[in-house]
Amino acid sequence: MNLKNASILVIDDDTDVLTAVKLLLKTEVKEVITEKNPENILSLLSGQKFDLVMLDMNFNSSINTGNEGIFWLKKIKQFDETLAVIMITAYGDIDLAVRSLKEGAADFIVKPWHNEKLLQAIKDILRSKEKKSGQENTLTTSVIGKEMIGESEVMRDIFFKIEKIAPTDANIFILGENGTGKDLIARAIHEHSLRADKPFIKVDVGALTETLFESELFGHKKGSFTGAGEERVGRFEAANGGTLFLDEIGNISMQQQAKLLSVLQNRQVSRVGSNEAVNIDIRLVCATNLSLAELANENRFRKDLIYRINTVEIVVPPLRRRESDIITLADHFARQYANKYLKPRPTLDAKAIEKLKQYHFPGNVRELQYTMERAIIMSESDVLTATDLIFSPIESASGNEPETRDLNLGVMEKNTILKVIEKHNGNISKAARELGLTRTALYRRLNKYDL
């Protein structure tokens, strides 16, 4: 659809926003109607045909749900399911805005926006609406990166979230077990951000001692302490203009947390041995293998620091909750290492596939990768069998492999399934989604446990 023929409705209780949008669009589109009160939306839609609606996420209105934008989005969709809606949001509401996409929004924009990007978003939405392609909006590995592979619903959600949050400067907190690929997600966020041509600096802060923490992150002056033979730029300064990825942040001490919080609040660092403050401009991504429950313990982690680093959180599921991705990943790694070691492209026989599906993968994707590399190196055939797949002795020695656990693992899985199904009042689709399984996989487990 030609932008010049479009009629657009803008709803926001901020008159400055309405004025800015009207000034931007009045020469670009056929008509712009603005409205402060969302309770007038349905009457406006009833009286006139609009091609697109721009809707704020938060209103001071008589409807007080805590997420008024979602409420009014649903009302608009009930009135006209085909009407395109762009949500207007602030950084702090990005998680809610991502949820709005699942409720039917076409896109969201973050205040303050770039005019060119807003115009392009409107053009793309109107063009897409006209084509009525109906294709599902999902990310492929070519968009995210060669190593990030997943067809499961939970991974599609993560890919979609990365696509939406990467262009913003929102701080991201990635949670997940070791080996799930948190570093790949951090790098994907950087590569799809507006800072992609700037540095991406990773620091394993959990491995830094108290004495090295400040020097490594903030830098030091020559002679500021024993061993400081030369001046050094810290990781914050090295990442200036780009992305700083602080891995295993859940393992730093309370004293280190206080120092980190001060820098993030002031957006300035002072090198050890110097009183001069240096301004920093970074996009912060943090990761930890701790659960939210562990992070909520204020004796272990400061709440004010969590709020500072966690504008948007991404929870990466363990591989055992991504059953439908296991064989896809195994094939990918097999091809990758066959190319590396100049071997024929391999295939997995039925028993090998079954062995992979039945394994718990305590070491997650990393363990699967090493398993496939070992199999390619040792196999003398281009068909991988179950005997070629030898799982990590490290995981086995740590007592994490399912064969070394007691027989209560099945009971735990059965009870978990029962609880989730009960939580969703018997809705198998919702239960499967929360468990990270397909409906078919969940039904297999229900039959397995006679549920």
pLDDT digits (tens, 9 = 90+) for 24-52: 998 999 999 999 999 999 999 988 999 99
| CATH number of this structure's domain 319-404 | 1.10.8.60
Which pLDDT belongs to residue 3? Answer: 82
CB atoms within 10 A of CB 307: 12
Ranges of CATH 3.40.50.2300 domains, the chain: 3-131
Ranges of CATH 3.40.50.300 domains, the chain: 153-315
Ranges of CATH 1.10.8.60 domains, the chain: 319-404
Element (H, E) at 3: none
Which pLDDT belongs to residue 44? Answer: 93
**3-131 has CATH 3.40.50.2300 classification:** yes
Which pLDDT belongs to residue 1? Answer: 63
Instruction: Identify the CA nearest to 158 among candidates 297, 24, 316.
Output: 316
Contact present, 240 and 282 (Cβ < 8 Å): yes
Contact present, 344 and 335 (Cβ < 8 Å): no
Beta-strand ranges (E) seen in 134-196 are: 172-175
| CATH number of this structure's domain 153-315 | 3.40.50.300
Class of 409-448 in CATH: mainly alpha
Say what the pTM is. 0.61
Which pLDDT belongs to residue 351? Answer: 94
Please list the ranges in the chain whose pLDDT falls under 50: 132-146, 399, 401-407
Ranges of CATH 1.10.10 domains, the chain: 409-448
Residue carrying the six token digits 């000034």 = 23
Which pLDDT belongs to residue 395? Answer: 62
Instruction: Identify the CA nearest to 329 among candidates 159, 155, 139, 192.
Output: 155
